[in-house]
Chains A and B, each alone.
Chain A
């Protein structure tokens, strides 16, 4: 589902009923100035969803939400069974929805927004209330998790989300299946999605278990370079003044990026990770005392995706180095007496190897 652009109020007294539906124009991804780490983390997840999502932490007003919403427009199309609420690529014979005979259709990769205040039944799906009310029949009404299957699920301000909802999301994200038992209905449907969270560190800490489940952890900071900031203001004004013209001007870059992503997706499975790169990843995790193997796995997958994104078929130790900080910064042991920034600690460890 496309998201809406931030259009300020018109203050012209237009009443709701007559107002046109929200405009569906996103700021182009390629026009975002700076914040390279965040952009790279998002793209790597597009190329290989198994990386496990990304958590974006940073100050307000640095364009976290803009970037995630812009992502939808550079994603390639996917094929699904026409009208399938779960976006499945194919449906088994005897599917309860009776979609087996349907044709396929192309849709954009879904990017689903999980608003704060969403209730569990809307997230997981529930019985169609209207059907129950009017016809007295039980029918499952899929929720946001169904809509997000094979796409992205975006949660702004993850740290403000209710704990029980976070648990549900993590379970589903880990298993890839959503199971609903309610009012005598039992439904199980696929729900594979890339979880993208954003948050502001000042609004409250994220539970470590939660943080750990995200594959990558990007940090964004206020841009202090004047020229870059001028460029942000310039582009934003141009976009606000005439969104469609702005989009048209950026379409070549958007198209180029889309092509790169498609090519990378196609080749990512063929990318080789030679022993020296693997060893480097393993040593780095040992040096930093990262528990478990999630660290190495994420490093390897992200490095392969990076190589694929740059059109290479072999991972180098340099690829590992480039994604080491976002892949590991949230997996370091917490030491209250340690004052060095996680990024610096990783950089130091890499120098030692």
Chain B
């Protein structure tokens, strides 16, 4: 047998999240990031065991088709019964229970859109193929995913109350424990099983008790204010998260058998609801305000469990106190690199995501539509479904029969019945590396850029991606490698490139923009610029044209204006950009972040960028 919920070691935060969800379905769902083999799917299935028996637990395969998802006509039953019989989709079947997705980040954008609609309405509305039907579909969504396979779509994450961030398992003892428990589970663990049954039973009772308690749990205005303030400081988008945070705190209090929310509950709510939605570090202003406050000594973990002491304080300072507490807790939890957070990462553009396109030839079968069978692949079952209802009618139609448009008298298919397949396919992506070959760091930069290019080209075959390379030094930028999939050529060009000299950044942007536009004309819809530079352009565009460089001050302003304009053009064309700042001195950064902002792109500080890091950051 497999491991149960209580047996799983590690994933503590995920377990907490699921318990809160079991207590308070108003949280709508939980997204759990965890690596392969960490037991995340076992966890989700174990979760089902904690719910009252008979609660539906429906697993949604990531390659689900629309009619399986929403429901459609049941062909056999329809023909037999002589009336429409609708087969309910997975979403309707999950009503009153749990919908589980393993690989939340692998769901197709269409499926995500439908899922979001149903979650918002609490019903499945089927309006297709002559069917019109409404089923209730209120469920909680539990989704697990491996962040190594990409991020979950933000619209979906936003709808889920709880987001458990990725936490690599670093404790050796825990790892050992996981292995040990797994071993005993696969072997004969009769005694263990009995023990675990008890533990599961106990959790079930706890949850049942907490659910009864939940409606009576109190939360103070000041506590709500503190949660909202924290959300604001972290730059959480939208107003939905406030409500989730309150619900999470209430659930935690209920689970702990309390009738009122305490600091601990708030902290957990921040961790599970707000933190993963952060798009920025708490603002300096917020911190200053906190520091000015007299009653903000280190109220830390050791004060847990105390009670009564906060009710003495006046309301205003108290709210301030809680806010400080939450903010410092949040800060401690925030990863060093904000880009590790799903919302911050996706904040500007969708740098990682490849475009997808519906087409008639290859990819994943998404839906059947009317179409010309000569140019498309016929979807047989949908065609039969389309023809089925008309059989009686057509048999009566003399004209049709005389005109021999019905080939045999048993089943008639007219051209209007023909359905063809539509597929969704990953569209290829063009990466344009724009590498600063000027200055002293150039040699190192070029080497690592080359490594990254080679790495990406090796993956390129899989994704149908292409890579181009532009270097800039001296007076202007130079295309070293036109978009291609040739690793060898890229290597050769890079080997012979001289380095040092001026920094014609504007020329580089212009060249990259042109390359992206040309690619678009050839059908590569999505381009990503990867700029490796410190952002300090010092050669204006005009120099190329042989004009005399103006005085230094004017020249600087001119360069800035040029860069800004070019960046706006790139942005307007929806070309993704990633600026990798190679400035060695941390304190004198500033130009590259500005460039990233103009481009509406991501900014990554990697002074000693290694090929591996770059390739990882980009793809």
Contact = CB atoms under 8 A, between A and B. Distances in A.
Given A11-B22, A19-B136, A223-B239, A133 B78 contact: yes
B353 to A, nearest CB: 11
A251 B329 CA distance: 43
A12 B240 contact: no
Interface in A132-146: 132-138, 141, 143-144
Contacts of A3: 121
B186 to A, nearest CB: 30
A20 B84 CA distance: 22
Given A116-B117, A122-B128, A122-B130, A4 B123 contact: yes
A183 to B, nearest CB: 7
A136 B396 contact: yes
Given A16-B93, A60-B238, A136-B396, A11 B26 contact: no
A40 interface: no
B267 interface: no
A336 B240 contact: no
B413 to A, nearest CB: 13
A10 interface: yes
A21 interface: yes
- Say what secondary structure dominates the interface of chain B: helix
Interface in B139-196: 139-140, 154-155, 158-159
Among A19, A233, A234, A337, residue most surrounded by chain B Cβ atoms (within 10 Å): A233
Nearest to B414: A183
Given A130-B84, A134-B83, A16 B135 contact: yes
Interface string A27-64: 00000000000000000000000000000000111110
Given A60-B158, A61-B239, A62-B238, A183 B70 contact: no
A293 interface: no
Interface string A107-146: 0000001111111011100110110111111100101100
Interface string A74-90: 00000000000000000
Majority secondary structure of chain A interface residues (helix, strand, loop or mixed): loop
Nearest to A35: B239
A296 interface: no
A337 B125 contact: no
A247 B134 CA distance: 25
Candidate in B93, B224, B229 with the most chain A CB atoms within 10 angstroms: B224
17 contacts: A3-B121, A9-B96, A11-B98, A13-B51, A13-B53, A16-B135, A59-B237, A60-B158, A60-B238, A62-B239, A115-B127, A129-B389, A160-B109, A232-B243, A240-B26, A336-B572, A339-B568
9 nearest CB pairs, A to B: A61-B238, A61-B240, A336-B572, A136-B392, A13-B54, A122-B127, A13-B55, A118-B127, A119-B128
Interface of B: 22, 25-28, 51-56, 66, 70, 78, 82-84, 88, 92-93, 95-98, 109-110, 113-114, 116-117, 120-123, 125-132, 134-136, 138-140, 154-155, 158-159, 215, 221, 224-225, 228-229, 232, 237-243, 246, 350, 388-393, 395-396, 416, 565, 568-569, 571-574
